[in-house]
Chain A
Amino acid sequence: MQLKTKCFCHLMWLLLVSYWLPLSCYSQQVTVVNIEQVTDLMQNQSDTVYVVNFWATWCAPCVKELPEFVQLHEAYQNRKVRVQLISIDFRSALESSLKPLLQRKNITCPVWLLNNTDYDSWINRIEESWQGEIPFTLIFNNQRRKRVVISGQTDFHHLEKLIGEML
């Protein structure tokens, strides 16, 4: 009897998850943003760890590490962690490259497209030490005045370790 209840619970759980997963997977939307929206995000003072990743569809190491951010987004959904992917693809690539890639790769976290290619006007506003190379990731908790940057490809375990130090 007890075994049956257990099995039933597991089944219900699987059913729930199977309904919920596709929902979260296909609700992908890309928001086209300007640099002010990005700097606002960077200056957010709430007690939240922000993981902000600059990437583009044409950048192979960026695309390769996307699943790591998705994993992070899902693992920390109930914590004070926000993962924000910021694509610096051209606006003209939104429908032709960006959206198809996100769908193909099943990218479930929120994605912004920063519609500004006058890089010299904004790179220093994001991070002085950033030379413009991508992938580039910033992890910060402004309320605790903690901030680290990662130049180049990273992975879930490295990100998780850094987040752990800021939560």
Chain B
Amino acid sequence: MDLEPLLNKNPNNMKAQRFLLSLLLCWGLATLLWAQRSTGLQPGDEAPDFELKNVDGQLVSLADYKQAKGFIIVFTCNHCPFAKLYEDRIIALHNKYAPKGFPVVAINPNDATKQPEDSFEMMIQRAQEKSFPYVYLQDATQEIARTYGAARTPHVWILQKQDNKLKVAYVGGIDNSPEDPANATEKYVERAIEELLAGRVVSKNTTKAIGCTIKWRN
């Protein structure tokens, strides 16, 4: 390629060059940001720990769970009818798998100014009403939801401890029958955990499901 014209010191050309360069930079930055925003944590990725406030007022980190083999991280909330449909199933998942080393960690990422039903006070109320056996944390800055790539409620990440690191083993929905759990022919989360407990790789590590949009702060 002939670089001569590009290296021309003509001030007009220099201006054009600078303009082109800044355009290129902007484009690069935009693609980078877009890629970060649209993908989030995928199976195989390392998941970062966090410190978020639980409904009992205590700060909770994944590092606090010394005995855990992993986690079922569920981005969920109070108001979303689809999240409500899955509440009892999330409780059942915790009761079944916390003793086996995979507790549920529920995180509400919604901005309470946009959805007052998802305020911290309402979270406390909901946790009491349903006697949540798991922690119910508020992601007040929405930073964890953004890092993980949460897009809806409910949205699940299964993490597995490996050499003191947390690896993403599964991302997606809970099962394939939102209306009636009894009709589910596929229980994605249960199967993934069973496979992890048996020392196998997760056969279906990504699924998609319907849910409410996360109420992002403007």
Q: In the complex, which residue of chain B has the Cβ closest to the Cβ of A93?
A: B179
The majority secondary structure among interface residues of chain A is loop
B103 is an interface residue with CB less than 8 A from chain A: no
**A-facing mask of B73-91, CB < 8 A → 1, else 0?**
0000001011000000000
Among the stretches A36-44, A75-83, A132-140, the one at the interface with B is A132-140
CA distance A61 to B209 in the complex (A): 18
B109 within 8 A of A: no
Contact call B178/A117, Cβ cutoff below 8 A: yes
Provide the residues of chain B in CB contact with A120, threshold 8 Å.
172-173, 176, 186, 188, 207-209
**In the complex, what residues of A have CB within 8 A of residue B188's CB?**
120
* Contact string against A for B residues 21-50, beta-carbon threshold 8 Å, 1 for contact and 0 otherwise: 000000000000000001000000000000
How many contacts A-B (CB < 8 Å)? 64
Interface contact A119-B209, CB-CB below 8 Å:
yes
Q: Is the CB of B38 within 8 A of A133?
A: no
Interface residues on B, range: 20 to 34
Set B79, B82, B155: member contacting A131, Cβ < 8 A = B155
On whether the beta carbons of A133 and B179 are closer than 8 Å, the reply is no
Which A residues touch B179, using CB under 8 A?
A: 90, 92, 117
Question: How far, in whole Å, are A120 and B174 apart by their CA atoms in the complex?
Answer: 11
Q: How close is B117's CB to chain A, nearest CB, in angstroms?
A: 10
- B112, CB-defined interface residue at 8 Å: no
- Those of A46-71 within 8 Å (CB) of chain B: 56, 58-61
Chain A 129-167 interface mask (CB, 8 Å, partner B; 1/0): 111111100000000000000011100000000000000
Interface residues in chain A, defined as those with a beta carbon under 8 Å from any beta carbon in chain B? 56, 58-61, 88, 90, 92, 117-121, 123-124, 129-135, 151-153
Across the A-B interface, give the 5 residue pairs with the lowest CB-CB distance, nearest first.
A131-B151, A133-B152, A58-B81, A123-B208, A120-B207
